[in-house]
Amino acid sequence: MAFLHQTPLPHQHGGKHHDKPKDNDLSHDEDSDCEYTLTKSGQPFTTSHKIHFLRKSKSPGCPPIPISPFHDIPLIHSHTAYGQKIYNMIVEIPRWTQAKFEISRSLPLNPITQDTLSSSPSKPRFVHNLFPYKGYIWNYGALPQTWESPHYRHPDTGGAKGDNDPIDACEIGSRIAYTGEVKRVKVLGILGLIDEGETDWKVLVVDVRDKLAERLEDIWDVKRECPGLLEATRDWFRWYGVPEGRKANKYAMEGRWMDRKYAEGVIKECEDFWRELVKGKVKGSGDVCLKNTTLRGTPGYLDPSSVKLPPNEDLPPAEVDHDLEEVAYVDREESDDEDKDDDDSEDDEDDDEQDSLARNDDWDDLTKDAALNDLKTMTINLKYW
Amino acid sequence: MAFLHQTPLPHQHGGKHHDKPKDNDLSHDEDSDCEYTLTKSGQPFTTSHKIHFLRKSKSPGCPPIPISPFHDIPLIHSHTAYGQKIYNMIVEIPRWTQAKFEISRSLPLNPITQDTLSSSPSKPRFVHNLFPYKGYIWNYGALPQTWESPHYRHPDTGGAKGDNDPIDACEIGSRIAYTGEVKRVKVLGILGLIDEGETDWKVLVVDVRDKLAERLEDIWDVKRECPGLLEATRDWFRWYGVPEGRKANKYAMEGRWMDRKYAEGVIKECEDFWRELVKGKVKGSGDVCLKNTTLRGTPGYLDPSSVKLPPNEDLPPAEVDHDLEEVAYVDREESDDEDKDDDDSEDDEDDDEQDSLARNDDWDDLTKDAALNDLKTMTINLKYW
């Protein structure tokens, strides 16, 4: 078994921590005092733009150490007095913005870069303003030290493989975050998206310091405190790619929101997949860069003093072709019908988003048992008779 | 009858245009070549902030003349080759913003100012971000030379009096406008809002230069080209005041969108009310300032050379208490129920927005006859049996 230990702080480099090798150390490390800072190189809205992460030192005079946000930021920040987990979340896309920033899976130390258009890879990708929304409707990002394994077919997502990225998160607090912000969040629920045929979970979270947070513990609370948010989130993810020529996405489990317990189970699975990955135990994961500066004993470990990041530039954004003011309209019903025509081979239930939205107005869904869900499935199928 | 003629241009001041006194001159004047400019004084987001309008001169060397956007900008800009009217619209609130700017009814030359909170009149008013929307969802403003008379009870709005302002307009083009922009627009339809008991028509328009414009001639086109927009607009106006403690608004005609022909009829009525107003023929309109610089012979006419506007300052906005990032959630169903409990004396049909939204998914409403509408009304009433 590879030795695995998260180097706690730069001034402890070289210290001997080999006396208690525990395979699970990472999942229980708490970084309550860690602070992060960013280095921005290249011009935003170009392919040269990179946002690298550094962890500040607690010792005066010690410089911050470069880290990977994917591998070196602990998944669990701390626990509440009641034993509830507080997670770290890395913000990629601030609420109401459109630039598709994401943690690079393949670049060394996984900086945040901007996704590019599949049709022209030199051009930065922006999501369209899907009417009635402006850009992303939450602070969007990922949970560190998780991985949706492309080698795993989740039984609840119709056997679709993982999307090869950290698990995604939508933070619903009042504050607009910034790209690269590391937030401390509570997990509230999860939605099983099938994005272009891959499993792509969306975890719903709230910043623990947000004024909403004290009233939100689970998905039912979101339904009560933020009416319309769960439905809008489902609507957004289903249709957001259509204006750029992608197909509508589908949902696992008929688009039902799952509760916190279920969400934390999925996150734990993804954490386990990440742990195998970072230990170098996963074959066929060549496009994920495993370089890190805190996980000593892992194949990707680098001495932080050997890492040179590009200098911080913080340049103004480049001009872009994409019309950021434009609003895109998608006829949900018409697109739904087209979708049905195209995908006869797939499960009809997935297509039935309109019904699912309506059905979920009765939120008791979440608390009722399998028998009721079976009855609902029968009702949906009736539509096709 | 008072002589009424719109002074065409500053270099023609003093010219004799009395030879053809026509009462209807104003409504047919076309200003195809007019351009407007703004003078901004006081700090935005304070009560001292004023945006005054000026009309540029066509003669080199002649200074622009101060005008009233309410009275001196023609309602009709021009006509298309097919004889369709192109209207002027004054933008007060750009899309996706929240500051409640509006043409002042009572200040001389009717500058744009920011509305204040009824609870604390020294504080500027901002609308809340009613989830899932950000600020206003269109460029919002008014049509000049119109007036919703508070002395008139419209038969189609349940006899509610006019709100004493120019008629409001929502411009749905792609471009974000600026406060004070004078747009040339096509009229597409109208929604009869009852805002705190007053008739408050909302005209739907599109900038004639917008790329959407060539596909939009009437309300049916909006339904087809901009799916969801009519429903979202109705939803927005019904609920936007609730987060600031106001009651939900109601609709005339069960919230049905009316077509272009109906809209142009309402606009014409409001133009006629304005004409009576500006001629000084309306008693009890003391809070509307009639000062103008182009309508010679009217009681409010001022020689433009006698008008001194405050100097242009163009200051940065003041800091405000209002949390512009915050999102407000309104439970439409729960609020609907409360509304019903409160308003037993009023028409139950108005309260039934949720049903109305659903019902309007069948857009054939607009083309079908009164018998069908009666049937629908019966269906709604069934809910209360």
DSSP annotation string for A100-154: -EEE-SSSTT--EEE-B-SS-TTSBPB--EETT--S-SSEEEE-TT----TT-B-
Backbone angles phi, psi at A206, to 5 degrees: -135, 140
CA dihedral B366, B371, B372, B377 (to 10 degrees): 100
Min Cα–Cα distance to chain A from B264, Å = 26
Q: What pLDDT is stored for residue A334 in this prediction?
A: 76
**Cβ pair B332:A174 closer than 8 A:** no
Nearest to B323 among A174, A229, A333 (CB): A174
Q: What pLDDT is stored for residue B157 in this prediction?
A: 87
User: Is pLDDT above 80 for B160?
Assistant: yes
Min Cα–Cα distance to chain B from A5, Å = 40
A228 at interface of B, judged by CB pairs closer than 8 A: yes
For A129-142, what is the mean pLDDT? 98
Q: For chain A, what is the mean pLDDT?
A: 83
Q: What pLDDT is stored for residue B6 in this prediction?
A: 54
- Report the amino acid identity of residue A214: E
User: Is pLDDT above 90 for B20?
Assistant: no
**CA dihedral sign of residues B188, B190, B191, B197:** positive
Nearest to A326 among B96, B174, B228 (CB): B174
Min Cα–Cα distance to chain B from A232, Å = 7
Backbone angles phi, psi at A383, to 5 degrees: -60, -25
**Cβ pair B229:A131 closer than 8 A:** yes
B133 at interface of A, judged by CB pairs closer than 8 A: yes
Pairing type for strands A50-55 and A36-41 reads antiparallel
Min Cα–Cα distance to chain B from A137, Å = 8
Lowest mean pLDDT among A125-129, A335-339, B195-199: A335-339
Which residue in B188, B179, B9, B168 sits closest to B86, CA to CA?
Answer: B188
Which of 2-61 (A) contact B at CB < 8 A? none
Residue B67 token pair = 């005008």
Assign B58 a pLDDT band (cuts: 50, 70, 90): confident
Q: What pLDDT is stored for residue A285 in this prediction?
A: 80
Min Cα–Cα distance to chain B from A323, Å = 9
A324 at interface of B, judged by CB pairs closer than 8 A: no
**Cβ pair A131:B332 closer than 8 A:** no
Q: What pLDDT is stored for residue B372 in this prediction?
A: 38
User: Is pLDDT above 50 for A339?
Assistant: yes
User: Is pLDDT above 80 for B75?
Assistant: yes
CA dihedral A210, A211, A213, A219 (to 10 degrees): -110
A354 at interface of B, judged by CB pairs closer than 8 A: no
Assign A104 a pLDDT band (cuts: 50, 70, 90): very high
Q: What pLDDT is stored for residue B18 in this prediction?
A: 35
Please report residues of A whose CB lies closer than 8 A to that of B229.
131-132, 329
For A100-123, what is the mean pLDDT? 95
Q: What pLDDT is stored for residue A155 in this prediction?
A: 87
User: Hey, of A134, A181, A361, which one would you mutate to test binding to chain B, going by the most B CBs within 10 A of its CB?
Assistant: A134
The 10s digit of each residue's pLDDT in A256-305 is 999 999 999 999 999 999 999 999 999 888 799 999 999 999 999 999 99
Q: For chain B, what is the mean pLDDT?
A: 83
A134 at interface of B, judged by CB pairs closer than 8 A: yes
User: Is pLDDT above 60 for A81?
Assistant: yes
For A193-210, what is the mean pLDDT? 94
User: Hey, of A326, A332, A335, which one would you mutate to test binding to chain B, going by the most B CBs within 10 A of its CB?
Assistant: A326
Tally helices (H) and strands (E) across chain B: 8, 16
Q: What pLDDT is stored for residue B196 in this prediction?
A: 82
**Cβ pair A228:B332 closer than 8 A:** yes
B303 at interface of A, judged by CB pairs closer than 8 A: no
Whether the upstream peptide bond of residue A69 has omega within 30° of 0, thus cis, is: no
User: Is pLDDT above 90 for B265?
Assistant: yes
**Cβ pair B232:A330 closer than 8 A:** no
Nearest residue of A to residue B233 by CA position?
A132
> Using CA atoms, how far apart are residues B3 and A125, in angstroms rounded to an integer?
60
Lowest mean pLDDT among A11-25, A120-134, B108-122: A11-25
Please report residues of B whose CB lies closer than 8 A to that of A226.
131, 329
Contacts of B39 (CB under 8 A, 6+ apart): B51, B52, B53, B54, B309, B310, B311, B312
**Cβ pair A332:B174 closer than 8 A:** no
For B200-229, what is the mean pLDDT? 97
User: Hey, of A128, A131, A139, which one would you mutate to test binding to chain B, going by the most B CBs within 10 A of its CB?
Assistant: A131
**Cβ pair A174:B229 closer than 8 A:** no
For A172-180, what is the mean pLDDT? 97
Nearest residue of A to residue B176 by CA position?
A325
A133 at interface of B, judged by CB pairs closer than 8 A: yes
Min Cα–Cα distance to chain B from A346, Å = 27
Please report residues of B whose CB lies closer than 8 A to that of A332.
227-228
B324 at interface of A, judged by CB pairs closer than 8 A: no
In the CATH scheme, what architecture does the domain A4-330 have?
A: Alpha-Beta Complex (3.90)
Question: Read out DSSP for A225-257?
Answer: HSTTHHHHHHHHHHHTTGGGTPPPPEEGGGGPP
A379 at interface of B, judged by CB pairs closer than 8 A: no
Please report residues of B whose CB lies closer than 8 A to that of A131.
226-229, 232
A232 at interface of B, judged by CB pairs closer than 8 A: yes
Q: What pLDDT is stored for residue B330 in this prediction?
A: 97
CB atoms within 10 A of CB B82: 6
**Cβ pair A229:B131 closer than 8 A:** yes
Nearest to A137 among B132, B232, B330 (CB): B132
Is there a contact between B140 and B172 (Cβ–Cβ < 8 Å)? no
User: Is pLDDT above 60 for A13?
Assistant: no
User: Is pLDDT above 60 for A220?
Assistant: yes
**Cβ pair B228:A329 closer than 8 A:** yes
User: Is pLDDT above 80 for A375?
Assistant: no
B206 at interface of A, judged by CB pairs closer than 8 A: no
Residue scoring higher pLDDT (B12 or A140): A140
Lowest mean pLDDT among A71-80, A362-371, B24-33, B157-166: A362-371
**Cβ pair A132:B132 closer than 8 A:** yes
Which of 242-281 (B) contact A at CB < 8 A? none
**CA–CA distance from B84 to each of A244, A347, B24, B81 (Å)?**
35, 50, 18, 7
A178 at interface of B, judged by CB pairs closer than 8 A: no
| Strands of chain A, DSSP E | 5-6, 36-41, 50-55, 65-67, 76-79, 85-93, 101-103, 112-114, 129-130, 139-142, 168-171, 182-195, 198-207, 250-251, 295-296, 327-328
A:B CB pairs within 8 Å: 64
Assign A60 a pLDDT band (cuts: 50, 70, 90): confident
CA A43 to chain CA centroid, Å, is 24
> Using CA atoms, how far apart are residues B43 and A308, in angstroms rounded to an integer?
47
Please report residues of A whose CB lies closer than 8 A to that of B133.
132-134
The 10s digit of each residue's pLDDT in B320-345 is 989 999 999 999 987 776 655 554 44
**Cβ pair A329:B226 closer than 8 A:** yes
For A192-202, what is the mean pLDDT? 92
